Amino acid sequence: MPKLPQKLSTRQWSLKSILDKKRAFREITRIRFDDPNLEAVLARQEACGVPLVIEGWNEHSQWLGQNFFGPDNYALLTGCSDIHVRNIHTLEDAIVPLADFFSHCRSLPTYIAENEENLRWYGKDAECPQSWRDWLNDVLPTSLTPDKSDNYLNSLLPELPVETLMCYHGVGDTFTPAHKDLCSSSGHNLMTHSENGGSAYWFMTASADVVSVTRYFNEEMKTELDHEARLLTLNDLAAAPFTVYVTQQQLGDLVLVPPRSCHQVVNTGGLSTKTSWSRMTLQNVQAALYHELPLYQRVCRLETYRVKHIVHRSLQQSTAALENSNHPTQATLNDLAILVQLFDHILDEEHPPNRSEITLVKNETPVDCLVCSFCGHDLFQSWFQCQGLDNGGGDDRTQVRDEGRDEGRDEGLDEEDKTDSKVYLCARCVAEGRQCKCGNMIAYQNRPFDHLLELRESAVDAVGGKHTRPKIIDTPEYKFSAFAAACLLVARKGTTRELKCRQANCRAIVDGWCALHCAECHASICYQHQLETWSFHSIPSILVYSATYRTKKEAGQTFHACHVRARKLYPTVIEVFYADMARGTRCDPIFQATFFAHNYRICRPWKGELLMLGWYDE
């Protein structure tokens, strides 16, 4: 939950006074909706990853007016009688009658009073009326609309959509704390209604500053950005070592939020309504898969957008389209080549151990709605299920809400999911020592792994059959299989004797599956201290240790050489990793896992009462 300062009020704020506070504060560029250069500016904004405001939509000839977008019509169009709200004084969430909410907002003073300690509600994640959606799709530039055809979120199965279009209703001094939009998506936020000068201050960063922003939160704010646990003051923002883009959003302003931009919104004045949605380009999907999902897995941020499913479905659709096309464009070929590379990354993580037989789910069609009970990761191909007595068998499935979030959705499992005793764990969580309390876990796969390999082969053939084929690795090497490592780890449980960790200041007796013995070092060391001493993550450690060698001596020498190399290599590649992270491009997954385990220890398990922390968790 956000940690509030003593008081946060916009009483003394103005855009000019904020911009004058620090040289690194920069006003967000604005352009009118009817500017002839709009498309060029939009292309430049997307390429540069900086915020932009398109203003004046309330002056558009097709603007339907305050009555159409007002609270009374909102209630009529949606038919909603209730709304989810957050009280900013207590940070408690509740469901209240919609009419009471609007009446409450209109009765409040514009600014928080010194002695105000009761209620100041902010309406979050509210349903967007279909007629408002239609207006957005009809009036806004096609490249920005919620239902644009090349929005990769729209590639998911129609019966399992991800809804990101929502409304936010707030009065002065309500807020959304600093956060990034989910899964590196591009955000859009249009103020459609305003009463008594209602507006909103936005504080935003550029996409390329994601490394500096993340480090500032971790090192200076002592919190994790993806936990959305910090409401920044103006002094916090002024002290930041990166540019902070600022604007005051008025009626008719469409704010464009670049992917992985940290942004905070503080309402001011009277009641206002903002309509918000997300969009995923192929570059957004790439950054999410390579950088956001591994981080979410460590800190336990609910994924929601099913990124691996998006890659899988998009690869199926694009391959079929290319096979039926006689004259594909180079852009089409390039996009499919990128999808193949993304799919390779997924196959690497999901690859089962060699010569192993993994239980398949019994459903005739794959299950696409499971999430990891620990980290909230969407489960695509491989997972583990607790076999404890309260788990009710292997065929039940737990679903989560499908809604997305743009301005700052309060992510979480539904109440029925939080109390559901069924436990599923993703492979990366298991490979990092996270487990159910009974410790009895069985591996499952969603479909035969060969089916995924066949899809990849079809995609490569489709690209290869065209005269302008982009470069694709025909036979990739799978070197970072979290699922294989997790299977090998679970197989060791109950089959190995206890070991004494020989790390200085430890000497603990640990279960044999929680440590490995290095013959060259003449010592056993637990996975936690392998990371802290050698910078050797459990996944490569398990895979190297369990690989097939000609002799026992060769096995020992190889394992020893790998952990020695890991220790020497770690400090030399940090800057390379930061550069990959800033660009959103593929990085070394072994180094990334090691770096995240070193630096992201605080986690918030979704079903903590049913689970045990891993080796790298606090």
For the stretch 222-233, pLDDT in tens is 889 999 888 999
397 pLDDT band (50/70/90 cuts)?
very low
pLDDT per residue over 507-530, tens digit each?
677 888 899 999 999 999 999 999
pLDDT of residue 326: 84
Q: For 14, what's the count of Cα atoms within 13 Å in the CB-facing half-sphere?
A: 3
Q: CA 545 to CA 13: how far, in whole Å?
A: 60
Q: What is the DSSP string of 295-308?
A: HHHHHT----S-HH
In the chain, list all ranges with CATH 2.60.120.650.
15-152+161-280
Long-range CB contacts for residues 452-455, cutoff 8 Å, separation at least 24: 452/312, 452/343, 452/347, 452/350, 452/381, 453/347, 455/312, 455/315, 455/316, 455/319, 455/343
| pLDDT above 60 for 384 | yes
- Half-sphere exposure of residue 248, counting CA atoms within 13 Å on the CB side? 14
403: β partners: 163
User: Residue 406 — pLDDT band, cuts 50, 70, 90?
Assistant: very low
Pick 592 or 354 by higher pLDDT: 592
Q: What percent of the chain has pLDDT over 90?
A: 72
In percent, the amount of the chain with pLDDT more than 70 equals: 90
Task: Read off the pLDDT of residues 273-286 as tens digits, 9 standing for 90 and up.
Answer: 999 999 999 999 99
- Report pLDDT digits (tens) over 119-160: 899 999 999 999 999 999 999 999 999 998 789 999 998 888
For the residues of 415-473, what is the DSSP string, one character each? Answer: HHHHH----EE-HHHHHTT-EETT--EEEEESS-HHHHHHHHHHHHHHHHTSTTPPP--
Residues 445-496 have pLDDT tens digits of: 999 999 999 999 999 999 886 655 566 666 666 678 999 999 999 998 877 7
Q: Residue 34 corresponds to which amino acid?
A: D
Give the angle 8-170-107 at the CA atoms, nearest 5°: 90
Residues in the chain: 618
Residue 93, pLDDT above cutoff 50: yes
Beta bridge partners of 203: 246, 264
Confidence check: pLDDT of 169 > 90: yes
The pair of structure tokens assigned to 506 is: 């430890």
CA distance linking residue 375 with residue 136, whole number of Å: 35
CA 449 to chain centre: 25
Averaged pLDDT for residues 350-359: 84
Homologous superfamily assigned to 15-152+161-280 = Cupin (2.60.120.650)
User: How high does pLDDT run on average in the chain?
Assistant: 89
Average pLDDT (312-327) is: 93
Q: What is the mean pLDDT of residues 50-79?
A: 95
Can you tell me the mean pLDDT for 426-433?
Answer: 98
Distance CA 16, CA 130 (A): 38
